Amino acid sequence: MIPAKRRKLGAPAAGPVADVIRFPHVAVFLLEKRMGASRRAFLTGLARSKGFRLEDSYSPAVTHVVSEKNSGDEVQAWLETQTPAGDADRSVHLLNMTWFTESMAAGHPVKIESRHRLQVKAKSGPSAVTNTMGAYACQRKTPLEHHNAVLTDALLLLAENADFCTNEGRSVAFKRAASVLKALPGPVRRMEELQGLPCLGEHCQRVIKEILEHGASSEVEMTRHSEHYQAMKALTGIFGVGVKTAEQWHRAGIRHPADLVSSEHKLNRAQRAGVEYYEHLRVPVTKAEADRIGEIVKRAVDAVLLGAEITLTGGFRRGKQTGHDVDFLITHPDEGREEGLLPKVVSWLEARDLLLYQKTNKNSYLEAKEWPARPPSNMDRFERCFSIFKLQRPWAALEEPPQSGERGAAETPGWKAVRVDLVVTPVSQFAFALLGWTGSQLFERDLRRWAGQKGMSLSSHALYDCEQKRYLRATSEEEIFAHLGLEYIPPGERNA
């Protein structure tokens, strides 16, 4: 017998072609919840090797949903979030793992018996819960003001702490649960009201239940007052500092930006600016201040390129009245006219002593080399300027640069440091950039996930159909939603 390692390196043995579908009328979907991704992948490979048809994602083609360690009610609730409107009565077999293992042993789909079926309680009476919310944030409207702030604030604090611990999976789970609660039409008062809602895992439900019953969560309060959480929140609040750097500083005994002043830690240019203007930047920016900065940016843009357009994006476009930074998209109706614009705008601003810090990145996006050769990314590559503005108070005249010898804002009490991002986009990519830079972060993440489920790839530059192998053009956000088969959701209801 040839050793296993040598068999892997040698030529494959003669035999039937792997993964030939022998039972095309039976389309099986394995529900990953509580099963785990690795076990699901193993079982999928096993079934396909035996000729079974296994679907990677749920679709109307699925005939058998197999679950492990989930109740029939849980699977039915999940199924309702996946079923398109008008298709709710389509027959799908909800089965436990026994049917699957027996079918694997038999080498064919065994006859479904009552012991194989998951039991689903009949819903009747006026008190029955009928939650049919979509599982993706881009499927539902999420207003800025909602009815469950106490619950969502708690979950988002745990999400933030998970980010500080570099546990992205847990962070996203908390954010998705909070997003679902934000979209509810009224306040949650009983756990029964959450039945059938997506994205509410056991951990999130424990937190919600404790708050509903006792007014607070012990886990949330312990996290809020923990030394690690408070230090990481302060350190990541420094402009130019990410979680990894903050964690390194924390291990070295740094707890607050002030500690860096007397420490021997070497800071890069952005971090030095972040420490210097920390007290300014930790104060929220108001919508009125964002509008004032917009007037300055508009004046700068007009001075170097007439006809260029600027658009306020981010949380302010979603209706927020305060934020931590201000983002602007800049474009021109004539494709190509925007090239070389940003350095001139930055020079205009610097000449008037309006920038305390700036770093400009060139455009590195080239459509011809993106898909399918390049894997999709949520990071765009537009020409961009990360800056700290010096916003004068009261409003200052901007027509003339400061005279030689004059000091800037560092010695002037009548100013405020504000984080501002300037992003330049060709008009052909503007709709995608506007969608991507409007947010919210979770809304955009789920948009990309939804596109992937549809065989497409979405970024802030373009939408690519991987099956048709072509770009899907759009001149408005509405067109992008239409390409994705989604109802258009206006900016003010994307606060997921």
Residue 424 φ then ψ, to 5°: -105, 130
- Final residue in a domain of this structure, among 281, 306, 325: 281
Catalytic residue status for 327 = yes
Evaluate whether residue 9 is within a structural domain: no
Q: Are residues 292 and 418 in the same domain?
A: yes
Q: Would 423 be classed as within a structural domain?
A: yes
**Adjacent-strand bridge partners of 418:** 389
Q: Among residues 325, 353, 380, 446, which one is catalytic?
A: 325
| Residue 130 maps to a domain | no
Nearest to 108 by CA among 183, 172, 179, 25: 25
pTM recorded for the entire structure: 0.71
For residues 234 and 312, membership in a common domain is answered with no
Please say which residue of 237, 259, 281 terminates a domain. 281
The stretch 219-242 carries a mean pLDDT of 97
**210-219, 225-234, 339-348, 405-414: lowest mean pLDDT where?**
405-414
pLDDT recorded at residue 78: 83
Span 444-452, average pLDDT: 95
Same domain, 299 and 375: yes
191 plus 149 within the same structural domain: yes
15-29, 32-46, 265-279, 439-453: which range is least confident on average?
15-29
Identify whether 87 is a catalytic site residue: no
In the chain, what are the helix, strand and coil shares in percent, each to the nearest 5?
A: 45, 15, 45
Query: Structural domain of residue 62, as residue ranges?
Result: 16-116
Residue 330 in any domain: the answer is: yes
- In this structure, are 382 and 355 located in the same domain? yes
Is 421 noted as a catalytic residue in this protein? yes
**Cα separation of 182 and 77, whole Å?**
19
Q: What is the CATH number of the domain that holds 452?
A: 3.30.210.10
Please indicate, yes or no, whether residues 153 and 108 belong to a single structural domain of this protein. Answer: no
Encoding tokens for residue 76? 């039915």
pLDDT grade for 394, boundaries at 50, 70 and 90: low
Q: Which amino acid is at 120?
A: V
According to the model, what pLDDT value does residue 90 have? 53
- Please give the Cα distance from 201 to 177 (Å, whole number): 8
CATH number, domain of 165, equals 1.10.150.110
- Identify the domain boundary among 224, 259, 293: 224
Q: Has residue 125 been placed in a domain? A: no
* Cα 365 to Cα 258: distance, rounded to the nearest angstrom: 39
Residue of 327, 353, 380, 446 with catalytic role? 327
Evaluate whether residue 368 is within a structural domain: yes
- Structural domain count of the chain: 5
CATH code of the domain covering residue 237:
1.10.150.20
pLDDT confidence band for 332 (50 / 70 / 90): very high
pLDDT digits (tens, 9 = 90+) for 128-166: 445 678 899 999 999 999 999 999 999 999 999 999 999
Is residue 392 classed as helix, strand or coil in its secondary structure? strand
Per the domain annotation, does 154 fall within a domain? yes
pLDDT at 203 over 80: yes
Do 187 and 214 have their domain in common? Answer: yes
Confidence of residue 393 (pLDDT cuts 50, 70, 90): confident
Contact 245, 266 (CB under 8 A): no
Please tell me which residue in 19, 259, 421, 465 is annotated as part of the active site.
421
